[in-house]
Structure formats: structure tokens, C-alpha cells
Amino acid sequence: MNTALTTCATTWRFSPEERVQRKLHYALVDEVDSILIDEARTPLIISGPAEDSSEMYKKVNKIIPHLIRQEKEDSDTFQGEGHFSVDEKARQVNLTERGLVLIEELLVNEGIMDEGESLYSPGNIMLMHHVTAALRAHVLFTRDVDYIVKDGEVIIVDEHTGRTMQGRRWSDGLHQAVEAKEGVEIQNENQTLASITFQNYFRLYEKLAGMTGTADTEAFEFSSIYKLDTVVVPTNRPMIRKDLPDLVYMTEAEKIQAIIEDIKERTANGQPVLVGTISIEKSEVVSNELTKAGIKHNVLNAKFHASEADIVAQAGYPSAVTIATNMAGRGTDIVLGGSWQAEVAELENPTPEQIAQIKAEWQVRHDAVLAAGGLHIIGTERHESRRIDNQLRGRSGRQGDAGSSRFYLSMEDALMRIFASDRVSGMMRKLGMKPGEAIEHPWVTKAIANAQRKVESRNFDIRKQLLEYDDVANDQRRAIYTQRNELLDVTDVSETINSIREDVFKATIDAYIPPQSLEEMWDIPGLQERLKKTTSIWICRFQSGWIKNLSCTKKRCANVFWQTQ
């Protein structure tokens, strides 16, 4: 990310010596799917301070709690009683007519808007911006899911990795709206000075390659967007992990209870368990239930990231239970029996005998865990992307070790509720399921996989469409930056400046005296006024010789402008 920001910053330099970015020849990206797929829509922005509007965010924030949500958007066949509707698939919130009227009344009552004005009038564009941002902050963004509040600051949580993104802020006033919602200090909005997306940044490299354990499902996108072929490398040792079928319950409570029972059974046999959750909030729900059941466990999420190394080092101990967000997915290596290196590191000056003793004790634990079945992975929900599920599963069965995994789902899970509810619910009704019972069937697994493919396809379409829009700006960006670099690299820019100046005057004169046109079509007064307004040049009259030779006219105007500077 730093190199991409450096690329943006380099465009501001005023001499070749100030540039710090070399030519982009070759990039080798680790966890390439995380960067080129998951982060593809993230713009890297260098920003500067903008106008302070923190008070307006506070005022508008008080209005949003008065609004009531309705289940569906208004249409010709449906008119709801609420003030806004939510499209969970697209993560969009839409005001209804009733909601717009109420907001306008509340804004007038608060003295923010004048009586009789419309929120959509040109003078209220910025006010509408504040209302939209506040509505999104309250409805679409949830504490301990999308962000955390720490030391009076709103910190974004990466939805793909579960880690906090210190220093990053949402744009378009959204971050300020969330700060107003949480009652913390509202920082000033920023204006964008330079930006580039990951997609276009990495496409600047002449050669590009990367590595990841979960690229195969995104092979089409790597090929179509980045022109990269995907090659599957065989594992070093045969993978013997047992991936058990999903279990689907009707309610969240039934699912959590089944997870607790599975943990009890596994730990009784000495098997360590890693429980993967999709958010901080969900990890705390599971933690509370384990505490009630008297099961000792560790929690790894963005709130406890400082203890990550210690928690991961202990996660492979016999009967250890670890609850984690996606932080424990990508790139985390859980050693069966625990990490003997971590134990050695705790000693100040370990002797060879102490190290040998620690290794011997670790070997006993390692063998015991293998005999119990290796690390058991429990997924509490399916993610939108199969890759993230595979990353969680991949913590077990590494380097040919034994292991197992199972996902527990409920019809109240976000993915099931939004994308797969009708089909799976129909199967459950046909099977006559009773409370507490789970469905385990290949049809269900297939329906869930289809739901994930739908989400992946939709997200791909969004990324592709964004790239198509950004490509237009990127072509202009490249042209400007190329021309700027050429100017920086030459010692005498007079020839280039003269050429640019002549081009400007040529375009200006052509607009008022079109080439190959009759004299009756010429707008001499308009040209005189335009030249005076844009260049401070006043040419009282155009001599007949100038008019007959437009090329001469353009050069003379350019020379007059040059002489007046």
C-alpha cells in the first residue's frame, strides 16, 4: 500500500530529484487474492483538509432515530408505512416519500432548512449529502462488526481479515457520520488530492505475479482483469483433513447450542478446537455461551490483537479452545501441541538442556493431539466468499497433519437469510424438521454453494463495473502524468509551453471562426470577448491579413499573450 501511495505522491513533485518512485517493472504479491480481489474496490487516497462541517453532522444525526424502517421499497403495488427501506444485497438504504417529508419537517423544526424548501433543491445538495451519510451510518454500519470504538476513535474493521485498519477512513462523509452516531470527536472531512485503486495500480507494473492458497475459485477474474493465468501447485504432502458436511439449524440459538456440544465432545478427547466467526460481535456471543458452559477458552479478535501471537501459540495445545474472527484465517500457522519456540522465547538465557526439555514435552503434546484427530475447525457461518471459508479450513491439516472441519449454519445467518432462504427453508419444511434438529444433505450443501457463487458473481460484476469507470479516469491520469514527467525530465520547457499555448489559441479561435467557414459565420466580437476574459488580451480589431490566414492569427494571438506575461 505504501508504494501505491508513493506513486500518488510522486505526481506532486516539482523536480526529478524529489521523485522517489522508480519505474514499476515487476511485482510479486503475497496473498494475491486478498490484495487484487478483496481490496480491489478500495481506493488509495492522499487527502487534504476540507471545510469543517462537524456541527452539521451532529445536528443531522439527531434526526435519524425518528425514522422507521419498512421491509420493502415502495412500488406501484406496495406502499409502506415506514420512512426508509434497506437493500441488504446491495447494501443500500433508500428514503421513501413519507421519509423524505418527515426529514424535511424535522430539518425545518431544527432550523437547518427554511420552510417550503425541498431537500432536493440545488441549494441543499450538501444537506442531502449529510442526511444520506447519517442514514447509512445508522442502518448499514454496525459497531463491533464494521468498526470498533477505541480511545474515542472510530476504527474500521476489515471485513475480509477481521483486523483493524488504523489510519484508514471512509470517504464521502461516512466516517464523520459514524463518529457523530457514536458520540466521539468528529474529525474534519478531507478532500481528495490524488487517488488510485489497487486494480489500476498493479496494472501499472510491466510484470505481475502472486501466490495464495485460495486462488483457484477466482481464476476467471485473475485472467479477465489482470491477464494472469492461475496455476495450481500440488501440496507438499497429501491433505488428509476431514471436511464434514454442513449442519443447518432453524435458529441461531439452536446452532450455538450444537456448537457448544461439539466443542465439549472434541475437547473431552484432547482435540484442540478453533471456532471461526464472521465478526467481533459474533465472537463475543459464542464466548459468552462458552463461559456459561464453563469451558475455558481464548478470544482473538480486533479488540485483542495485541495478544495475537500468544493466543495463536497456545491454540494447538490439547483441548485448547480458541474463538477467532477472520484474523486467524489467512496466513496463521497453528502448531499442533503449541509452539515450543514461543516457550523458549519466554526464557531469558535458555540452556541447551532447557530447550531439549521443552522440545521433548512439546513432542508428547504434539503426538497426543494427532492421536485425538488434530485441530478441529468450527465455522459458525458461511462467508460471502468460498475463499474465506477455505482459508479458515486451511488452518487445519497443514503439512499432512490430521484434522477436521465443520460449518454450523442457521436460517438466521446473513448469507442464508439474504441469498438462500427460500430454497433451504423449503427443504426443511418438506423434511418436517423439529426444533433442535439439523439438516445434513448434499442438496443443502449445493444450495449454499450456489448462494456463495451468486454473491461472488455479483461482487465480481461490481468490481468489473468500477474498473470500467476507473479506466476512463486512468487513461486521463496516465496521459497527464506522462506529460508531467516529460516536463520534469527536460531542462528547457519553452518549446513544449509554446506548443501548448498555440494549441489553446487554435482551439479558441476555431470555436469562433470555424475552419473552412464563410465570413458570415464568424463571431469576431465573441472571440474578442473570450480572449479578453480568459487571457486578459484585448485585440481591438482583426486585420484582414490575419483573418485570411487563420494559422497566422493563432500564432499572433499566442505571441501577444506571451509578450504580456
CATH classification of the domain holding 55: 3.90.1440.10
**Does residue 55 share a domain with residue 43?**
no
| pLDDT at 544 (0 to 100) | 44
Same domain, 269 and 418: yes
Annotated binding site: 333
Does pLDDT of 378 surpass 90?
A: yes
Question: What's the grid cell of residue 403?
Answer: 484434522
Res 545: pLDDT: 47
Nearest to 453 by CA among 242, 196, 235, 218: 218
SS3 content of the chain, % helix, strand, coil (to 5): 50, 15, 35
**Is residue 177 within 8 Å of residue 165, measured between CB atoms?**
no
* The three cell numbers locating residue 153: 476513535
Is there a domain that residue 448 lies in?
no
Q: What is the pLDDT of residues 135-186, one digit of tens each?
A: 999 999 999 888 999 988 999 988 777 788 888 888 888 999 999 999 999 8
C-alpha distances (whole Å) from 349 to each of 67, 345, 356, 357, 408 are 64, 9, 14, 14, 46
Q: What are the φ/ψ torsions at residue 37 (nearest 5 degrees)?
A: -110, -60
CA 407 – CA 275 distance, rounded (Å): 10
Residues 270 and 325 in one domain: yes
Q: At what angle do helices 125-139 and 54-61 cross, to 10 degrees?
A: 60
Residues 275 and 219 reside in one and the same domain: no
- pLDDT of 22 higher than 60: yes
Return the C-alpha cell found at 349.
538465557
User: Domain for residue 285, yes or no?
Assistant: yes
**Does 178 lie in the same domain as 198?**
no
As a whole number, mean pLDDT of residues 220-239 equals 89
Within this chain, do residues 427 and 507 fall inside the same structural domain, yes or no?
A: no
What pLDDT score was predicted for residue 432?
67
Which amino acid is present at 27? A
- The pair phi, psi for residue 164, each rounded to 5°, is -75, 150
Q: Which residue has the higher pLDDT, 411 or 194?
A: 411
Highest mean pLDDT, choosing among 24-33, 266-275, 486-495: 266-275
> What was the pLDDT predicted at 329?
60
pLDDT at 373: 92
Parallel/antiparallel/unpaired status of strands 153-156 and 147-150: antiparallel
**351 and 311 within one domain:** yes
pLDDT category of residue 9 using cuts at 50, 70 and 90? low
CA 215-452-305 angle, to 5 degrees, is 65
Residue span of the structural domain in which 162 resides: 51-188
In DSSP terms, which residues pair with 405 in a beta bridge? 243, 377
Helix axes 524-535 and 494-512, enclosed angle (nearest 10) = 140
Q: What is the CATH number of the domain that holds 553?
A: 1.10.3060.10
What residues pair up with 404 in beta bridges, in sequence order? 242, 376
Binding-site sequence positions for ATP: 333
Same domain, 366 and 303: yes
> What does the alpha-carbon distance between residue 383 and residue 414 come to, in Å, rounded to a whole number?
9
Inside any domain, residue 447: no
Question: Does residue 419 belong to any structural domain of this protein?
Answer: yes
Angle, CA 164 vertex, CA 162 and CA 168 arms, to 5°: 130
Per-residue pLDDT at 502 exceeds 60: yes
Weakest mean pLDDT among 229-233, 454-458, 547-551: 547-551
C-alpha cell at 28: 510479486
pLDDT-based confidence at 367, cuts 50/70/90?
A: very high
Distances from the Cα of 414 to the Cαs of 14, 32, 278, 380, 419, in angstroms?
Answer: 51, 27, 10, 12, 8
Beta strands in 157-257 (DSSP E): 190-197, 207-211, 242-243, 247-249
Per-residue confidence (pLDDT) for residue 2, from 0 to 100: 57
418 and 518 in one domain? no
Tell me, yes or no, whether 141 lies in a domain: yes
Q: Tell me which of 354-363, 376-385, 439-448 is least confident.
A: 439-448
**C-alpha neighbours within 13 Å on the C-beta side of residue 375:** 29
Q: Which of 172, 188, 204 lies at the terminal end of a domain, its last residue? A: 188
Domain count of the chain? 4
Give residue-wise pLDDT tens across range 325-345: 877 666 678 888 888 888 888
Q: Higher confidence at residue 448 or residue 262?
A: 262
29 and 99 both lie in a single domain: no
pLDDT at 375: 93
Yes or no: say if 199 and 37 are a contact pair by the CB < 8 Å rule.
Answer: no
Asked, for residue 486, whether it belongs to a domain, the answer is no
* Average model confidence (pLDDT) across the chain: 82
- Written as nine digits, the cell of 461 is 460484476
Give the E-state strand segments of 278-402 in sequence order. Answer: 298-300, 321-324, 375-379
Whichever domain contains 212, its CATH number is: 3.40.50.300
Q: Strand, coil or helix: what is 410? A: strand
Residue 446 domain-assigned (yes or no): no
Q: Is residue 450 part of a domain?
A: no
**Same domain for 218 and 173?**
no
95 vs 447, residue with greater confidence: 95
Whether 163 and 183 map to the same domain: the answer is: yes
DSSP string covering 458-505, please? HHHHHHHHHHHHHHHHHHHHHHHHHHHHHHHH-S--HHHHHHHHHHHH
pLDDT tops 70 at residue 423? no
pLDDT score for 313? 84
Q: Which residue has the higher pLDDT, 327 or 120?
A: 120
Helices 54-61 and 174-182, packing angle to 10 deg: 60
